[in-house]
Amino acid sequence: EERAALESWAGPGQTADGKPVRILANVADGDSARSAVEAPVEGVGLFRTELSFLNAKDEPSVDEQAAIYGEVLGAFHGSGPGDRDRYVVVRTLDAGSDKPLAFANLTDEENPALGVRGLRLAFDNPGLMEHQLDAIAQAAEASGTETWVMAPMVATVAEASEFAGQVHRRGLKAGVMIEVPSAALLAHRMLEVVDFLSIGTNDLTQYTMAADRMATDLAHLTDAWQPAVLQLIAITAEAGRQVDKSVGVCGEAAADPLLACALVGMGITSLSMASAAVRPVGARLGSVTFDQCEEAAEAALAASDPMAAREAVREALDA
Ligand code: PEP
Ligand code: MG
């Protein structure tokens, strides 16, 4: 019965008692977007633009970039499940560290995860950001798809403010990723300058726990169920709730059906994930009430370790 519910889940994202939650896809390019749109999603919560350029020697021109972004935006034109308007969140280049780009990361770094990556690159090389935003705006205009733009690896409100100014000048919605503990702690101030937040739990976990996300022997630390990570997510979600702005999760945590329900209980308004996770997450969320999600959130936040948090959430959700 559970399996049938899972396979037949067709959206839109909501709890059993009708609290809407946007269920979105993470995509890398036109191909993955055209395949993601087959799932019952209401858009894209994370378009990782840097993945198109891992083999590029030179910076792609504005027109070349616009063509690539246009493929993703074009795939998500119109409305999705529940007739909700679709939208696509384009992330500006997250180059550096585990994803170096030949034309962007010009210096060797001792410690690239803590180095010039993501938005930090744009301040070193302003042309890169200007060209990319021009290309995104061009593709948004041509496709007619609602387009939001967000920056990765933001650590300060000044960075968020500078970025938002550049995006707003082009008439698009601006947001930042919450991937660094400093940004989570200042979520309420970030929201004074941006339209939305999106929590990247992969990096937020790495930087909160000071544990390399690629290190398999540190898996007990690189776990979004860690109480310190959950606290930072809750702080961020609460900041969004206070001003009624969208706060999503686009890291791996959103793809875990039990954790996803707890995130919704904290006030998270959208969940973005690999297409394969869409039905399991959507079906689980549709089987519990918002009250249960809030109970799950409270129980997870009170737990002393990841195992206790998982157990407590399972209990709150009757899972
Ligand atoms: C994250 O850090 O959680 C995230 C979504 O971004 P990426 O995995 O691309 O670093
Ligand atoms: Mg990240």
Task: Check whether 66 has a pLDDT greater than 70.
Answer: yes
Distance CA 113, CA 53 (A): 19
Q: Is 99 in the pocket of ligand 1 (CB under 6 A)?
A: no
Q: Is the CB of 26 under 6 A from ligand 1?
A: no
Q: Quick check: ipTM above 0.95? A: yes
Atom of ligand 1 nearest to the CA of 251: 3
Over residues 133-161, mean pLDDT: 98
Is 250 catalytic? The answer is yes
Binding residues: 48, 91, 179, 202-203, 213
Tell me if 256 sits within 8 A of 276, measured CB to CB: no
Nearest CA to ligand 1 atom 6: 200
CA of 292 to the centre of ligand 2 (A): 29
Tell me, in angstroms, the distance from the centre of ligand 2 to residue 179's CA.
6
| H/E stretch holding 160 | helix 157-168
Q: List residues forming the annotated binding site for Mg(2+).
A: 179, 203
**How far is the centre of ligand 1, averaged over its atoms, from the C-alpha of 83 (Å)?**
29
Distance, in Å, from the CA atom of 187 to the CA atom of 185, rounded to the nearest integer, reads: 6
Beta strands 22-27; 196-199: pairing state: unpaired
User: What pLDDT score does 198 carry?
Assistant: 98
Work out the average pLDDT over 194-200.
98
Q: In this predicted structure, what is the pLDDT of residue 8? A: 86
Q: Rounded to whole angstroms, how far apart are CA atoms 27 and 90?
A: 10
- What is the arithmetic mean of pLDDT over 191-203? 98
6-16 mean pLDDT: 91
Residue 317 has pLDDT above 80, yes or no: yes
Q: Does residue 200 surpass a pLDDT of 80?
A: yes
- Supply the pTM of this predicted model: 0.97
Residue of 190, 193, 249, 250 marked active site:
250
**Tell me: the pLDDT tens digits for 250-270?**
999 999 999 999 999 999 999
Q: Is the CB of 203 under 6 A from ligand 1?
A: yes
**Nearest-angstrom CA–CA distance, 315 and 262:** 12
Q: Give the pair of three-digit tokens for residue 122.
A: 């744009």
Residue 219 predicted with pLDDT over 70:
yes
Q: What is the pLDDT of residue 98?
A: 82
Q: What angle do CA 279, 280, 286 make, to 5 degrees?
A: 85
Ligand 1: residue of 48, 50, 197, 205 to mutate (most ligand atoms within 8 A of CB) is 48
